[in-house]
Structure 1
Amino acid sequence: MATPLPFQASESLHGLSAVVTGGSRGLGLLIADELMSRDCHVTLAARDAAELQRAGALLRQRHPEGSVRTAVTDVRDKKAVADLFQQAAAACGGVDVVIANAGIIQVAPAETVGTAGFDDAMGTIFHGALNTSLEALPYLRESQAGGRLALIGSVGGLLAVPHLLPYSCAKAAVGALAEGLYAESARDGVSVTAVHPGLMRTGSHLHAVFGGDRRREFAWFSALAGTPLVSMDARRAADRIVTAVQRRRLRLVLTPAARLADKAHGLAPVLTARLSHATTALLPTADGERELRPGIDVEPAAPRTLGERLRSAGSALNDRAARVYNERHRTAAERHQP
């Protein structure tokens, strides 16, 4: 067993090898960018080869002296994840930092999503994080710098969010996994950080999938995710996440709204549940389409209703983030790939 290493807040990430899953766009891409800014050798992993190619090109343009690799990987596939770490370790001389970020977002009433939707969320979000963690830990234990693992949860995993229940359930499991692995891995010199972001302006509304009254679901989700007073600049979030990993923090909750929700749920769970119930009156009903479609297909070409005009105004910053963070480039054929 490796000798336990002291957890020092000042440890540098310079020259370390990092793996980021879900790294082809949005928050994962920004985390990879931040790691490269701190002189890490980065391996990006995601399912979509075209997105990965664009992401790698973006990072090489920003960091011409940096080191970035890409690896097409489905984190639901244990063998594919094992191959990812074996190849990253061989190419970079080991693995020191791992960020498990892969996920999906389904926005619809629970009965519209159905059990298959919950299975999909658990498969990608929880089992993806589990596969990544268990395959990463042997390499992190061997790290001369003391390995660092971060699991990206969500405020949605700290309290249930209506019309996001598959996501909430899976993220709650990720949070439990992170805390348990922290307790079990610290003696081996490996730190585990549970990250619970609130809403961030990443452009993820275009890749979330929507069911039921799709246009209304898209309207509320995209507008809320783009409101400055509620959501957070994604680049600033990535900086804080990487800093927390560098300093080996156990837990990070991002955005004031998320921290408030976390504390309120901890202190008054019944009141919080009742307030959550009250908000469902503002959400669409379960009537509508059962097939889930990505936001980039649901987004109206030109706002027609008052609600759509408000959404367009409220999510302007999020729409801009989508263009910058590799969220708006998939072709129609790519969008319908599993």
Structure 2
Amino acid sequence: MTLLLSRSHEDSMSGLSAVVTGGSRGLGLLLAEQLLIRGCAVTIAARDEEELGRARQFLTESRPDARVRTAPCDVTDRATVASLMTHAAEAQGGIDVVIANAGIIQVAPVESIGVDEFRSAMETMYMGAVHTSLEALPWLRRGRGDGRLALIGSVGGLLAVPHLLPYSCAKSAVAALAEGLHTELRGRGVSVTAVHPGLMRTGSHLAAEFGGNVGAEFAWFSALAGSPVVSMDARRAADRIVTAVERRRARIVLTPMAKAAGLTHGVAPALTTRLSALAARALPRPPEGSDAAGLHPGRDIEPGPDRSGHPVAARLRDWGSALNDRAARRLNQRAHHAHGGG
């Protein structure tokens, strides 16, 4: 069904050139897939070259004639992003579509993180989006028709999510950037789409980093991110995002829960904040006497019961993250977590 929906829009993007940062795994990989289905030539960028190689294999397995380039790139380095855009334009005859998707996820109570985690989140997601946007705009303006730029935010950028504070702060900045660019560039040759997904089954729990009560934090995050009740199939999400970019929509919010949360926060922010505070009380507390001792990659705590020491949390993880674990195997989430990789 998703494939049919994608192909119904294929003609309007056929022959265009696209760049996806954070395109080697998870949502970024599926965004690249949807662009290929619509007939685009696609450059996927991320930091890990081995991961990029596996991503290219994934994208060309069922479509050997697909025009896919890979480009190692750290979006926190503007010069590297500038080189990415220049080489993509040279190889593909210009750039028509750019999706800024690179990101990191840090899951921990504020007591277990420090200023470095906030800085890392802002440099990767916000400054990464700034670098991508500013370096892409000159190419998008001179493309074959009006260019399209999309910035991947999050429901966490519409309201602060407990135990995801650096992520929420960075995504909030991305939301403001997308809205401001849309306002200033409207009618000037580039459409800008702000994308705010809710939870999706991308296997991101293995690439995320966890602090505090690590096993329990991993349990609740992987359980919610994999639950069909509150999360969304990632391929369906990617189809809807690329369709929104194709149709030049200013904003798209995915999942009913994300839409409800964003609407409620906009209408009654004080109420939403109180409800978030109640939710925070149900989340794991850091161990007594612990401090900001660093974060641990989800791939290292995936075995749950053996590593976490919390059998109840492990059972919760096993119940809720089965779909997410399968998504991780499909969507190239096995490699070492790297900032700027998406």
- What TM-score comes out, normalization by structure 1 length? 0.93
Cα shift at 1:335: 5.0
Aligned to 1:173: 173
CA distance in 2, matches of 1:299, 1:71: 29
Aligned to 2:251: 251
SS at the partner of 1:228? coil
1:1-338 correspondence runs (5 A): 12-287=12-287, 288=290, 290-300=293-303, 302=305, 305-328=311-334, 330=335, 334-335=336-337
The C-alpha deviation readout for 1:231-254, integer Å capped at 9, x for no partner, is 000000000000000000000000
CA distance in 2, matches of 1:185, 1:167: 27
Cα RMSD between the aligned structures?
1.6
SS at the partner of 1:284? coil
Task: From the superposition, tell whether residues 10 and 320 of structure 1 become closer, same or farther in structure 2 (CA, over 3 Å).
Answer: closer
SS at the partner of 1:42? strand
SS at the partner of 2:71? strand
Stretches of structure 2 that go unaligned for 5 or more consecutive residues are 1-8
Cα shift at 1:81: 0.2
Contact 1:15 1:40 in 2 (8 A): yes
Contact 1:10 1:247 in 2 (8 A): no
- What TM-score comes out, normalization by structure 2 length? 0.92
Cα shift at 1:10: 9.7
CA distance in 2, matches of 1:142, 1:63: 29
SS at the partner of 2:23? coil
Higher relative contact order (CA 8 A, sep 6+): 2
SS at the partner of 1:212? coil
Task: From the superposition, tell whether residues 317 and 96 of structure 1 become closer, same or farther in structure 2 (CA, over 3 Å).
Answer: same
The C-alpha deviation readout for 1:236-278, integer Å capped at 9, x for no partner, is 0000000000000000000000000001101111010000000
Matching residue's letter, 1:312: D
SS at the partner of 1:149? strand
The C-alpha deviation readout for 1:165-217, integer Å capped at 9, x for no partner, is 00000000000000100111123220000000000000000000001110010
Task: From the superposition, tell whether residues 33 and 191 of structure 1 become closer, same or farther in structure 2 (CA, over 3 Å).
Answer: same
Range moving further from structure 2, 10-19 or 153-162: 10-19
Task: From the superposition, tell whether residues 336 and 68 of structure 1 become closer, same or farther in structure 2 (CA, over 3 Å).
Answer: closer
Task: From the superposition, tell whether residues 249 and 163 of structure 1 become closer, same or farther in structure 2 (CA, over 3 Å).
Answer: same
Aligned to 2:4: none
CA distance in 2, matches of 1:217, 1:192: 35
Cα shift at 1:337: 8.9
Cα shift at 1:305: 1.1
Contact 1:129 1:151 in 2 (8 A): yes
SS at the partner of 2:172? helix
Cα shift at 1:336: 8.0
Range moving further from structure 2, 284-293 or 118-127: 284-293
Contact 1:237 1:254 in 2 (8 A): yes
Matching residue's letter, 1:299: E
Q: How many residues align?
A: 326
Identity rate, percent = 63
Cα shift at 1:302: 4.6
The C-alpha deviation readout for 1:301-330, integer Å capped at 9, x for no partner, is 5576133112111111111100000112x2
CA distance in 2, matches of 1:305, 1:111: 24
SS at the partner of 2:195? strand
